Structure 1
Amino acid sequence: MPAAPRRLPAARQRHRALWFWAFVGPFAAGLALFTYVPLAWSVYLSFFDAHNTVSPTEFVRLDNYATLLADASFRSSLVTFAVFSAFIVPATYALSLGLALAVNRLRAGRAFFRSVFFLPTACSYVVAATVWKLSVFNGVRFGLANTVLGWFGAEPVAWLASTDPPWYWLVIITVRLWLQAGFYMVLFLAGLQRIPPRLYEAAALDGARPGWQTFRHITFPALRSTSVAVVLLLIINAFQAFDEFYNLLSDQRGYPPYARPPLVHLYYLALGQGQDLGLGSAGAVLLALIIAVVTVVQARWSGLGRRED
């Protein structure tokens, strides 16, 4: 019979536990203090009339939730999210997958190009939005986009002020695409490098042509789990869009009435003139529930976590 595993002395176990909490304790305390406590307090505030206070006393039950769901502006913000995600999710997915396929085929300089495409991920959304607003899509004729249009004899376009057609979507989508495509490219690269080379060798022996046929029948199915994770992350990040919308569209006059995603709407609701923290907290809880439901439905529909054959 195999020998039973030797138990560590009690003093050594206490010593290891002490070192464990020495390293993990500060992180756990910070996580609880700055994440879980505010989340719990936000849920608490959502059931109270919390105008200009974080310590309300008037319990209003579910009135904040009913008021928010009846608010046409809040429902409009969800439509804005739907439009934004309908553009940004497939565009980022296609671009990041294409970049990963191109970089993965390189025999030299792979690390260099991977770093180049990943570098915008480290850029602040505020800084990127400012560059896009002042340099690239400036509404006057000196902006880069209008300068290029001028070469072809076209008139300058007020990119962020035009609602017919809504050119502001082009500005918002391109800045988010530039900022996040490199991150998801790295995820796809990791998935591509996990595909066994023998699958491609067997396909070549069976007469499969390299290119689209190999990608369709081998590469893309092998990236199924990575694709599901990427789509889930893209949808969640689309729900959390705030910086690019706020910094691109707001000016000294405030934020325009169009293109308000949920977080921008809740920002003005909770921190604007009304200072209705109870209503804003109810909106935050509703957004968290929507994200959770969408994530679970998407995961179940795509079979995330299901055992693959």
Structure 2
Amino acid sequence: MLSRLLGPQRRYLWFWVFTGPFVIGLAVFAYIPLLWSIGLSFFDAHNTVTPTHFVGFANYGSMLSDTAFTSSLATFAVFSLFIVPATYALSLALALMVNRLRFARAFFRSVFFLPTACSYVVASMIWKLSVFNGVRFGLANTVLGWFGADPAAWLSTTRPPWYWVVIVTVRLWLQAGFYLVLFLAGLQRIPGTLYEAAAVDGARPGWQVFRHITFPQLRATSVAVLLLLVINAFQAFDEFYNLLSTARGYPPYARPPLVYLYYVALGQGQDLGLGSAGAVILALIIAVVTVVQARWFGLGRKEA
């Protein structure tokens, strides 16, 4: 067995030396916990990770009939309705502007990409304590005061739900730069001869060229960006939890699936079986949505 892994003349020895630790780490910290979580979803696992009472699909039935869980899915739908098109449009617009620069392109690309290196927790606390903290001297309320408007309690007002402004803006600031880089890579792959041919045919620079040449050439990049945006929206946790939770707990509104599952599995009930079932359901929903979206946009389809 060992000789097969190493290959003739131990050809693959250094391959396993360098990749072995990463494979072991991936198995220990990703694959084994994933399989263990799937197993827990079929047991009554209150306050234990080694349950013995098998309940079958009872946990799945409880989660699907739980109005709080379905409400969290509705929260995701609202969040994705805001964040997906906003991030797509902003990152594409920034990429188009940066791509047109004749100098300092690398500088502006780095400036816009830099927020992606910031922690979601840190960014959420900055938004919560400095920008949208709800007091008169917060940055957002200071700007409103310049126009004679009253201060807004951004994170504690449900009518109107100003907290969506806080959540969406912090996510936009954090992730727009990453998708900007993807769009820049797509823009740089467009042959310049297409634009030259369009100019010869009398196409007007600007919207007409973008609509008929640039945007169609970015089809594959756009599909990949939209897939990543939807998946990331399903996985939203840090900004919701750190922006809306207080010393009294998390409010009943704007609770996405991962925040709800966090309280189910690690809250007072410590129901790891129920939380694992919810996590499996969420993973299946993400997989189905991703496949349907990929088929809808024709991801991987050969060009005619």
Q: TM-score, normalised by structure 2?
A: 0.97
Residue from 6, 18, 22 that aligns with 2:17? 22
Please give the per-residue CA displacement for 1:232-278, whole angstroms capped at 9, x wherever unaligned. 00000000000000000001111000000000000000000000000
Query: Are residue 292 (structure 1) and residue 287 (structure 2) matched?
Result: yes
Residue from 177, 180, 186 that aligns with 1:185? 180
AA of the residue aligned to 2:142: T
Query: Are residue 81 (structure 1) and residue 89 (structure 2) matched?
Result: no
Partner of 1:240: 235
Partner of 2:158: 163
Map 1:206-217 → 2, pairs under 5 A: 206-217=201-212
Separation in 2, partners of 1:164, 1:306: 45
Partner of 1:132: 127
Secondary structure of 1:66's counterpart equals helix
Partner of 1:33: 28
Separation in 2, partners of 1:198, 1:123: 39
**CA drift at 1:208:** 0.4
Separation in 1, partners of 2:260, 2:64: 13
Query: Are residue 58 (structure 1) and residue 53 (structure 2) matched?
Result: yes
**CA drift at 1:55:** 0.2
**CA drift at 1:13:** 3.4
Runs of 4+ in 1 over 3 A off after TM superposition: 11-14
Q: Percentage identity across aligned positions?
A: 80
Which is further off, 13-22 or 67-76?
Answer: 13-22
Residue from 294, 302, 305 that aligns with 2:297? 302
AA of the residue aligned to 2:93: G
AA of the residue aligned to 2:120: Y
Query: Are residue 201 (structure 1) and residue 200 (structure 2) matched?
Result: no
**CA drift at 1:151:** 1.3
Gaps of 5+ in 2: 1-5
AA of the residue aligned to 1:66: G
Separation in 2, partners of 1:213, 1:43: 51
Separation in 1, partners of 2:9, 2:184: 42
Partner of 1:267: 262
**CA drift at 1:15:** 2.6
Secondary structure of 1:259's counterpart equals coil
Secondary structure of 1:209's counterpart equals coil
**CA drift at 1:152:** 1.5
Map 1:44-123 → 2, pairs under 5 A: 44-123=39-118
**CA drift at 1:155:** 1.0
Secondary structure of 1:159's counterpart equals coil
Partner of 1:4: none
Gaps of 5+ in 1: 1-10
Partner of 2:3: none
